[in-house]
Amino acid sequence: MVRSGHLNSYPLGMKGIGESGTVGATPAVQNAVLDALAPYGVTHLDMPLTPLKIWEALASPAGKVSTGQPPTVPAQTLQSGSAST
């Protein structure tokens, strides 16, 4: 027989279980992003993931994020990507 007593921490005496389903979501997304970036040499990114961190990791040599500043695009890349009319 399972007996439950009154929980003093919550006025209604209930326990919440809603958050247990989301506990694994953040690490799962983190691992999925790292798996997707592995072919580009990215082996580690600190949480929280941001678009800037991912962009920096892709744009930097060996996938290392260092400066916290957006990467610069070489002028040659900009010129070669322009469409001619």
Domain assignment of residue 2, yes or no: no
Residue 31: pLDDT band (50, 70, 90) is: very high
Give the span between the Cα atoms of 79 and 51, in whole angstroms: 25
- In a domain, residue 59? The reply is yes
Mean pLDDT of 21-42: 89
In a domain, 57, yes or no: yes
What's the chain's average pLDDT? Answer: 73
Question: Mean pLDDT highest for which of 1-5, 14-18, 30-34, 71-75?
Answer: 30-34
Q: Is residue 19 part of a domain?
A: no
With respect to residue 10, please indicate whether it lies within any of the assigned structural domains: no
3-state secondary structure of 85: coil
Assess if residue 45 is contained within a domain.
yes
Structural domain range at position 35: 24-70
Residue 50 DSSP SS3: coil
Residues 4 and 36: their CA atoms lie apart, in Å, by: 46
Answer whether residue 47 is part of any domain: yes
Residue 11: band (very low, low, confident or very high) from pLDDT cuts 50, 70, 90: low
Angle between helix axes 51-59 and 25-37 (nearest 10 degrees) is 20
The per-residue pLDDT for 50 is: 92
Q: Do the domain assignments include residue 3?
A: no
- As for how many domains the chain has, the answer is 1
